[in-house]
Amino acid sequence: MRRSAIEYVEAKHLRQDVTAFQTGDSVRVHWKIKEGDKERVQAFEGLVIRKTRGYNRATFTVRKISFGVGVERIFPVHSPRYEKIEVLSRGHVNRNRLFYIRALKGKASRVESQADAEMRRATNTKTTQAKA
């Protein structure tokens, strides 16, 4: 009984307009910032390196490089503090958590896009069929 009561209360606070994205995608999060009595929107753009599950406690971590320093920020998925999440590009990764990206620098830290991965698979199948 207690568990269902908690889920009932939490269901009221879930966002219905959550953008579909996954680990490895490049996203831009438009976060509302309060400065004094004013409120403005600031964009945080980077790579999603982790998504955690949870009903209304689900979060995702975005990593970007700012002036040569890696910056990571954890955002709640169902928070009312962000305006929107834009998916800039879809990434092709085989893991759910991309913590190895922290140790990489420059071009090595890039994630392959889904379009590039599909094109590479298509050319690999054509070359293997030609060899056979």
Domain boundaries, the chain: 2-131
Given a cut of 70, whether residue 132 has pLDDT beyond it is no
Position 1 scores a pLDDT of 53
Q: Rg of the chain's alpha carbons, rounded to an integer? A: 19
Mean pLDDT calculated for residue range 56-82: 90
Task: Tell me the percentage of the chain whose pLDDT exceeds 70.
Answer: 93
**Residues contacting 59, CB < 8 A, separation 6+:** 51, 52, 74, 75, 76, 77
In what order do the strands lie in the sheet containing 69-76?
69-76, 59-66, 38-52, 26-35, 82-89
Domain spanning 2-131: which CATH class is it, in words?
A: mainly beta
Q: What is the pLDDT of residue 55?
A: 79
**Contacts of 86 by beta carbon, 8 Å cutoff, 6+ apart:** 19, 27, 28, 29, 30
Indicate yes or no: pTM above 0.85.
no
Q: Check residue 85 and give its pLDDT.
A: 92
Mean pLDDT of 39-54: 92
Query: What does residue 103 show for φ and ψ, rounded to 5 degrees?
Result: -85, -10
Half-sphere exposure of 67 (CA within 13 A, CB side): 0
Phi (first) and psi of residue 120, to 5 degrees? -65, -40
